[in-house]
Amino acid sequence: MLVWCGGIYFGFGGRFWKKKAPLGRMKFIQNLQEKWKVGGSQFWLIMLTFALGGSLSGRLCSFLLNLAFLEKNWAFWLVYPLFLTILWPFSVLFVSFFTGQFRFFKGYLGRVGAKVFGIGGSVAAPSTASAAPATSSVSSAAPIHIAIFASGTGSNARKIIEYFDGAGSKSTSSQVKVSLIVCNVPDAGVLAIAKEKGIPTLLINKSEFAATGYVESLHNADIQFIVLAGFLWKVPEVLVRAYQPGMKIDGALVNGKENVSKGIINIHPALLPKYGGKGMYGSRVHEAVIAAGEKESGITIHWVNEHYDEGGIIFQATCEVVSNDTPETLANKIHSLEHVHFAPTIAKLLG
């Protein structure tokens, strides 16, 4: 069945593709990217894997059946599609090793197998009475894995790591785990903190981040929640889409529970919607606040969307701005608020 569908797509689909208007082709590609939760470069690697895997399975099937049959009679053509169907998934998985898409195809073939053959258990919903205790036990056994994105010294990252290591709240330390530090600066202080704490790191580059959002790498680490803590790049749309709250993460299960995203949040060193947007970070924010004669400033923890500092506000805390404040003294006040409130707010969101 899989092979026949693939044959229709790559065979008859070729003519359809040529006739289809450019805007229609773009929409078709975008729909697949959204369905698969992948960026542009990964999408084309997946399509290449489909094509090469299909070609390989066809050649293998013909070669093996030519050894078994003396002529292409009715028996040959009866066995051919069945044998091809068996070979196709193995051929695609083999090719996916070389294209770097093995995890995608492992999940994809698993989902297709579940739909076609009923693999993966009953789809009937359990009764309310029996479901409640199971959810409770899974929740305590499977921590929520979070990734911290940072570009600098990592003072907020350290506070969050230590909070969920047990130094902050015992009730949440077993339910949340900082599993990955993502950084865009090779010598940033946050990388030293990650090494000290034994946390894996991912060093990213701008072009790949814009194209793919490193969604596959985050899924490979089972990351469910992303925290921006002094991260200076704009989050690309592909990553925002992949980590909308409730979005499935690669169809995976964690301790029998569906693995879903819980969103992306950021902390901003001002009281949004004021003093936010492109270019407003660090000392630039504090300089603008003082220059405007503001009497108070503070922090804003908010959801991340496709635009700078425009996501829904989750939490704000304020501090006084006095006449002799400098950008440095105001920064110290803001850092104090961040260190006090950021980790507990994350715990409340994930609790």
CA distances 30 to 163, 208, 211, 280, Å, are 40, 18, 13, 31
Tell me what pLDDT residue 30 has. 67
Q: Where are the alpha helices (DSSP H) in 37-166?
A: 40-68, 74-99, 102-117, 128-141, 155-162
Tell me what pLDDT residue 140 has. 45
Domain 142-351 has CATH 3.20.20.140: no
Please answer whether residues 192 and 186 qualify as being in contact, where contact means their C-beta atoms are separated by less than 8 angstroms: no
Q: pLDDT by residue (tens digit) across 131-154?
A: 333 333 334 457 889 999 999 999
Tell me what pLDDT residue 210 has. 93
The structural domains of the chain, with segments of one domain joined by +, span 2-117, 142-351
Tell me what pLDDT residue 119 has. 40
Q: pLDDT by residue (tens digit) across 28-62?
A: 776 676 566 566 677 788 889 999 988 888 888 88
Q: How far apart are CA 45 and CA 301, in angstroms?
A: 36
Sequence-distant (6+) residues with CB within 8 A of 255 are 138, 141, 142
Q: pLDDT by residue (tens digit) across 260-277?
A: 889 999 999 999 999 988
Is residue 219 flagged as an active site residue? Answer: no
Q: By CB neighbour count within 10 A (0-12 exposed, 13-18 middle, 19+ buried), where does 204 fall?
A: middle
Residue 257, pLDDT above cutoff 90: no
Token pair of 198 as six digits: 């034994």
Set 268, 286, 302, 341: catalytic member: 268
